Amino acid sequence: MDKKRKRHQKSRVVTTPVPSQIVTSKNHQKDKKLEKQKNIIDELSDRLSEMTEIVKKLKKYTDLPEEENNKTPKEKVVDRECCFESEDADMKNPLTIFVRGFDCSFPRDEIKKTLIKHFSSCGEVSRVFIPFHCQTGSPTGFAFINMRKGHNKALTLNGSYLGGMRLEVTMATKRDEYYGYTNFRGCERCGPASMKRFAERFYHRPRLELRSVPNKI
């Protein structure tokens, strides 16, 4: 009976790990964790190096280095004046006078004042329009003049001199420029502005009033 008990006790004996084995296992797990972290750091470092190389290449292919780009002054966006957006662009009528031959080297405002002074000898000048190229602002070389009275007398100034230059004066309706400008350098706003003015003229045109006449019996 004692022998059986001893055998049973021997079979139930559980082997416990030696302390040195436990330490070794923990160290092994720690080493694996450190190795995994090192691999992650190495991978991030490689990606950072790749990004750095990409940035260097992008800087290399730009027109100017970054520092020079910062020093270079930015171009100011110039809002150019549109010829057909001018208030006087739609002043032409059957009695408008056409003038050419004046000196175009002066500013438009100065040319306008000179023309008003010259034609005021024939009557009161109501409006003067000097068409100009939108891109440069320089005059096209001719002008339109409206007069309250004396447009016939203004025609006598044909062949007169203004600032040493001979003027050509005629009725605007006899000129092609009255219907359209030749060799005109406009801008992208000219078309919409012209259409807008045409629509306004059409809307405000005089309308005939038709009255119904009663039938006589």
Q: Are residues 91 and 168 in the same domain?
A: yes
Q: Are residues 50 and 132 in the same domain?
A: no
* Mean pLDDT within 138-167: 94
Instruction: With a cut of 60, say whether residue 157 has pLDDT above it.
Output: yes
pLDDT value, residue 1: 54
Residue range of the domain that includes 38: 26-70
pLDDT value, residue 166: 97
Q: Are residues 112 and 161 in the same domain?
A: yes
* Mean pLDDT within 26-49: 74
Q: Are residues 49 and 87 in the same domain?
A: no
- Is 120 within a domain? yes
Residues 48-107 pLDDT 10s:
677 666 666 655 655 455 555 555 555 554 568 888 888 888 888 899 999 999 999 999
Instruction: Phi first, then psi: give them for residue 165, nearest 5 degrees.
Output: -115, 140
pLDDT value, residue 70: 56
pLDDT value, residue 185: 80
CATH number at residue 164: 3.30.70.330
Instruction: With a cut of 90, say whether residue 25 has pLDDT above it.
Output: no
pTM: 0.56
| Cβ atoms within 10 Å, residue 160 | 15
**Interior/surface letters 37-76, b for 16+ CB within 10 angstroms, e for the rest:** eeeeeeeeeeeeeeeeeeeeeeeeeeeeeeeeeeeeeeee
Q: Determine the residue type at 17.
A: P
Total domains, the chain = 2
